[in-house]
């Protein structure tokens, strides 16, 4: 575990033109998240201009909540994409986590916290299973996780109906441990006029921790290496299998965190939820500069991507635009953000 | 912090002293088996997976099936073409009757007519009030969404509401649009908003932001029970004084009406729709009866509010209202 993979070339002759020093501006522009940052500023300015309530400081909490619900998952999904893999089951895995915590506690009359911890084990297990199956079968992660996506969707519905006779979980708000669990996963923090949901805190912490790991730790280098070229990474001693399984488990962990919020914010979980959200997480990561091919990207960028999504989604409401066009506006905004992203990156690369 | 507080809670007790399945031993649906001859009924809806509304419809259908000693084959697919295919498989299996929802009538038309031509009686429920007759379907059970919307609008006017926000959880759903249009017809100051029904946090944030944008909104009208419960949270988040009203109910919503969190719900009696659809096929087969005498049988709109919620509550607890 001591074989550190440092950036190739850095220790060698500084005269090598591959490592020639570039100006600060160019180095800034070459960061993967710069495009999404520009996009975020443009969208922020647009809505500040057209939507009066957008300017109200107290409404920041709403926008950040919308963004955090996406951001908590966009962070591990971005890490996974940098590591060269997809997880299409990430959306329904959130629902699975929420359902299993609720159903286990309710069905066996357990303290809610026991359900919460069992659900964590399950969510990590699903992640580990995705990673394990990937290596066992040698199939692309797109296919493997597409399979898990359908399995989880069916199991969510089937098990819920089997246990409760309904398609939603029973209300567990009168059970032991609910209040304390709600304080952890569904509480609010008032900061002056702004009321922040606890998910915003989790989102920021996750972003900081993941960005630190990715850029400053050995594991971060492993993630870039396995995403760039798995065979070459293996040749220089990177534990490719462990890294990728770990990334899938990170997605599982965050799915559990989101699922717990879902459960403790709304008390019951509907078993059909979460379908389609996996694409939103991937979109946020792509806006944030992650390449669909792996090996390149940024966690901070993915979080900015989630912020763009949150601002756009709610900005349209704040602007009071005709709701018939809601999805179309959203699509155009996202395309623009992505195009700005690619354009800035290309300009910077040409320097 | 999470882990420590979790462990502390665990150390205290692993089991819950209140709530859970053990204290919710639900009464079974009102049904008892009869000694009449068996028939097979295919029950084919456009239900999206995991929607609580359809639990009630299905329970009604199952209750009628149990009572009439009927073999019930429940199928659902929100995609029009897929739902039509399910009708075809029912024909192939030579069932004795088909109950079907006609939310996407154009997709369903050909196969429904094929079943009728082949001598299989077909009844419709829940959706397709304008189309069932022309397809030659025997009977229809459900509410007229436009009329239900108008009733909701009239009630809003009567309550002295100023501006209503109509929350549509599925863009492009004809029945949901009709509800909002009906409401707008009798209560003109109604504005629509679209939310993603399969993503509750985004539903909550979307309603909150709309309430923050337009402070003149004093009623939030949702079109499904789970969304009403979420809207209650949005109203609180936005520090709005708007009241929440809704279409359709479930167990939690009935409690919310009792607590005063939700003012009222337009009830279309989904249990009754499922029950009548199956029972009508049994009556048609055994006695040649046609319920409604060629007209649609309306199961709603009825209102559930504080004045009558107690009567509904006991049935909601067992999951049939």
Chain B residues within an 8 Å CB radius of A320: 213-214
Q: Does A176 contact B at CB distance below 8 Å? A: yes
Which among A107, A173, A275 has the least Cβ separation from residue B21?
A107
Q: Which of A317, A320, A326 to mutate to test the interface with B (most CBs of B within 10 A)?
A: A317
Contact B51 A272 (CB under 8 A): yes
Mutate to test the interface with A, among B8, B199, B248 (most CBs of A within 10 A): B199
How far is residue B238's CA from residue B262's CA, in Å, rounded to a whole number? Answer: 16
First to last CA, chain B: 42
What's the distance, CA B59 to chain centroid? 12
Q: Do B212 and A276 touch (CB under 8 A)?
A: no
Residue whose C-alpha is closest to residue A172's, from B224, B75, B24, B46: B24
Q: What residues contact residue B238 under an 8 Å CB cut-off, 6+ apart?
A: A62, B207, B208, B209, B211, B212
Integer Cα distance of B249 and B32 in angstroms: 25
For B17-31, write each residue's pLDDT tens digit.
777 877 765 444 444
- pLDDT tens-digit map of B63-84: 999 999 999 999 998 888 889 9
Q: For position A21, what pLDDT does the model report?
A: 67
Q: Between chains, do B205 and A108 touch, taking CB under 8 Å as contact?
A: no
Predicted local distance difference test score (pLDDT) of residue B4: 54
From the CA of B280, how many Å to the nearest CA of chain A? 25
Query: What sign does the dihedral B261-B262-B263-B269 (CA atoms) show?
Result: negative
From B49, B202, B230, residue closest to A266, measured CB to CB: B230
Contact A109, B20 (CB under 8 A): yes
Determine the Cα–Cα distance for residues A34 and A16; give it in Å rounded to an integer.
26
Q: Kindly determine whether residue B198 and residue A69, on different chains, have CB atoms separated by under 8 Å.
A: no
Burial A311-322 (b: 16+ CB within 10 A, else e): bbbbbbbbbeee
Residue B192 has pLDDT above 80, yes or no: yes
Which pLDDT belongs to residue B71? 93
Q: Whole-angstrom Cα distance, residue B188 to residue A333?
A: 32
Provide the pLDDT for residue A10. 47
Q: Is the four-CA dihedral A214, A215, A219, A223 of positive or negative sign?
A: positive
In the A/B pair of chains, how many CB contacts fall below 8 A? 187
Question: Nearest C-alpha of chain B: how many angstroms from A168?
Answer: 6
Q: Per-residue pLDDT tens for A147-205?
A: 999 999 999 999 998 998 888 898 898 999 999 999 999 999 888 888 899 999 999 99
Residues of B in contact with A53 (CB under 8 A): 209, 212-213
Tokens of A325: 């066009």
- For position B26, what pLDDT does the model report? 46
B34 pLDDT more than 60: no
Q: Which domains, from first to last, does chain B contain?
A: 26-143+269-300 (3.40.50.2300), 145-267 (3.40.50.2300)
Look at residue B31 in the predicted model and tell me its pLDDT.
47
Tokens of B248: 């359709």
| Closest Cα in chain B to A51 | B213
Contact across the interface for A184 and B12, Cβ inside 8 Å: no
- With a CB cutoff of 8 Å and minimum separation 6, the contacts of B305 are B257, B263, B264, B265
- The minimum CA-CA distance between A24 and chain B, rounded to whole Å, is 39
CA distances from B38 to A39, B100, B282 (A): 65, 20, 9
- Chain A residues closer than 8 Å to B220 by CB: none
pLDDT computed for residue A17 by the predictor: 61
Q: Which residue of B has its CA nearest to A273?
A: B198
Instruction: Name the one residue in this structure whose structure tokens are 């349209």.
Output: A316
Question: From edge to edge, which strands make up the β-sheet containing B164-168?
Answer: B190-194, B164-168, B219-222, B243-247, B262-267, B302-305
Best mutation target, B212, B217, B228, B229, to test chain A (most A CBs within 10 A) = B212
Confidence tier at B57 by pLDDT (50, 70, 90): very high
Rounded CA separation B145/B157 (Å): 18
Other C-beta atoms closer than 10 Å to the C-beta of A31 total 17
Q: So what's the pLDDT on residue B28? A: 45
Tell me which residue of A188, A316, A134 sits closest to B202, measured CA to CA: A316
Question: Between chains, do A326 and B199 touch, taking CB under 8 Å as contact?
Answer: no
Q: B187 with B156: CB under 8 angstroms?
A: yes
Per-residue three-class SS string for chain A: CCCCCCCCCCCCCCCCHHHCCCCHHHHHHCCCCHHHHHHHHHHHHHHHHHCHHHHCHHHHHHHHHHHHHHHHHHHHHHHHHHCCCCCCCHHHHHHHHHHHHHHHHHHHCECHHHHHHHHHHHHHHHHHHHHHHHHHHCCCHHHHHHHHHHHHHHHHHHHHHHHHCCCECCCCCCCCCHHHHHHHHCCEEEECCEEEEHHHHHHHHHHHHHHHHHHHCHHHHHHHHHHHCHHHHHHCCCCHHHHHHHHHHHHHHHHHHHHHHHHHHHCCCECCCCCCHHHHHHHHHHHCCCCCCCCCCCHHHHHHHHHHHHHHHHHHHHHCCCHHHHHHHHHHHHHHHHHHHHHHHHHHHHC
A62 has a chain B CB within 8 A of its CB: yes
Q: A167 and B15 in contact by Cβ < 8 A?
A: no
Q: What is the pTM of this model?
A: 0.82
Does the beta-carbon distance from A320 to B15 stay under 8 Å?
Answer: no
Please name the member of B6, B16, B206 whose beta carbon is closest to the beta carbon of A317: B206
CB-based contact B2 A106, cutoff 8 Å: no
pLDDT at B107 over 60: yes
Query: What does the pLDDT read at residue B257?
Result: 96
Asked if B202 lies within 8 A of A106 by C-beta distance, the reply is: no
Q: Taking all residues of chain B, what is their mean pLDDT, rounded to a whole number?
A: 89
Separation between Cα atoms, residue A103 and residue A164, nearest integer Å: 8
Model confidence at B1: pLDDT above 80: no
A318/B212 Cβ within 8 A = yes
pLDDT in tens, B77-106: 888 888 999 999 999 989 999 999 998 888
Q: Which domains does chain A have, with CATH numbers?
A: 32-346 (1.10.3470)
CB B277 within 8 A of CB B43: yes
Q: Strands B219-222 and B164-168: what pairing?
A: parallel
CA angle B127, B131, B136 (to 5 degrees): 115
Question: How much is the pLDDT for B97?
Answer: 96
Low pLDDT (below 70) residues in chain A: 1-21, 348, 351
**Confidence class for position B300, pLDDT limits 50, 70, 90:** confident
Tell me the C-alpha distance between B61 and B57, whole Å.
6
In B, which residues are within 8 Å of A175 by CB distance?
16, 18-20
Question: In sequence order, what are the beta bridge partners of B193?
Answer: B167
**B51–A176 C-beta distance less than 8 A:** no
> Which one of A99, A113, A265, A316 makes the best mutation probe of the B interface by having the most chain B beta carbons within 10 Å?
A113
B205/A323 CB distance under 8 A: no
Q: Which residues of B touch A181 (CB under 8 A)?
A: 6, 9
pLDDT digits (tens, 9 = 90+) for B114-155: 999 999 999 999 988 989 999 999 999 999 999 999 999 999
Give the closest-approach CA distance of A111 to chain B in angstroms. 4
């Amino acid at each position: 575990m001591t074989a550190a993979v440092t950036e190739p070339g850095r220790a060698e002759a500084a005269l090598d033109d591959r490592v020639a020093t570039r100006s600060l501006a160019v180095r800034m522009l070459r960061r993967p998240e710069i495009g999404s940052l520009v996009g975020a500023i443009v969208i922020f300015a647009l809505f500040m201009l057209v939507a009066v309530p957008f300017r109200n400081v107290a409404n920041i909490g709403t926008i950040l909540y919308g963004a955090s619900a996406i951001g908590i998952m966009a962070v591990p999904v971005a890490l996974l994409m940098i590591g060269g893999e997809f997880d299409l089951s990430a959306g329904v895995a959130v629902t699975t986590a929420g359902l299993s915590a609720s159903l286990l506690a309710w069905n066996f009359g357990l303290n809610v916290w026991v359900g919460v911890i069992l659900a964590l084990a399950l969510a990590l297990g699903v992640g580990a299973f995705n990673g394990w199956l990937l290596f066992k079968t040698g199939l692309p992660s797109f296919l493997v996780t597409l399979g898990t996506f359908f399995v989880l969707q069916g199991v969510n519905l089937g098990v819920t109906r089997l246990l409760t006779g309904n398609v939603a979980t029973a209300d567990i708000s009168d059970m032991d441990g609910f209040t304390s669990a709600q304080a952890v996963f569904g509480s609010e923090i008032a900061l002056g006029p702004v009321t922040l949901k606890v998910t915003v805190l989790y989102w920021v912490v996750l972003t900081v921790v993941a960005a630190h790991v990715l850029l400053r730790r050995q594991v971060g280098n492993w993630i870039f290496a396995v995403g760039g070229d798995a065979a070459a990474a293996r040749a220089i001693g990177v534990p490719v299998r462990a890294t990728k399984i770990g990334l899938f488990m990170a997605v599982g962990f965050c799915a559990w965190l989101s699922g717990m919020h879902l459960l403790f914010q709304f008390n019951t979980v509907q078993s059909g939820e979460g379908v389609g959200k996996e694409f939103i997480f991937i979109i946020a990561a792509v806006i944030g500069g992650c390449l669909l091919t792996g090996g390149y990207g940024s966690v901070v960028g993915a979080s900015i991507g989630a912020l763009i999504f949150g601002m756009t989604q709610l900005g349209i409401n704040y602007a009071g635009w005709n709701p018939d066009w809601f999805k179309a506006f959203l699509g155009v905004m996202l395309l623009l953000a992505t195009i700005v992203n690619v354009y800035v990156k290309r300009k910077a690369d040409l320097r | 912090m999470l882990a420590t507080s979790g462990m502390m809670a665990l150390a205290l007790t692993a089991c819950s002293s209140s709530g859970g399945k053990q204290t919710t031993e639900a009464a079974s649906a009102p049904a008892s088996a009869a000694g009449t001859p068996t028939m097979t009924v295919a029950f084919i809806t456009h239900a999206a997976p995991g929607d609580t509304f359809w639990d009630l419809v299905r329970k009604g259908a199952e209750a009628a099936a149990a009572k009439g000693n009927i073999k019930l084959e429940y199928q659902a697919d929100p995609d029009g073409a897929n739902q039509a295919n399910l009708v075809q498989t029912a024909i192939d299996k030579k069932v004795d009757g088909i109950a079907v929802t006609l939310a996407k009538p154009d997709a369903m038309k050909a196969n429904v007519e094929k079943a009728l031509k082949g001598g299989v009686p077909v009844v419709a429920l829940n959706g397709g009030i304008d189309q069932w007759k022309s397809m030659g379907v025997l009977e229809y059970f459900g509410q007229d969404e436009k009329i239900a919307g108008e009733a909701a609008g009239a009630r809003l006017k009567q309550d002295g509401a100023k501006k209503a926000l109509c929350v549509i959880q599925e863009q492009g759903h004809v029945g949901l649009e009709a509800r909002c249009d009906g409401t707008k017809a009798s209560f003109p100051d109604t504005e629509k908003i679209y939310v993603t029904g399969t993503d509750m946090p985004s539903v909550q944030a979307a309603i909150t932001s709309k309430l923050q944008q337009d402070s003149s909104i004093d009623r939030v009208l949702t079109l499904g029970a789970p969304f009403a419960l979420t809207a209650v949270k949005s109203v609180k988040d936005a520090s709005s004084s708007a009241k929440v009203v809704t279409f359709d109910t479930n167990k939690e919503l009935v409690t919310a009406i009792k607590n005063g969190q939700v003012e009222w719900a337009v009830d279309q009696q989904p249990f009754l729709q499922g029950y009548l659809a199956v029972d009508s096929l049994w009556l048609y087969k055994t006695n040649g009866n046609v319920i409604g005498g060629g007209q649609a049988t309306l199961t709603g709109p009825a209102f559930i509010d504080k004045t009558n919620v107690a009567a509904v509550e006991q049935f909601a607890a067992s999951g049939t209202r």
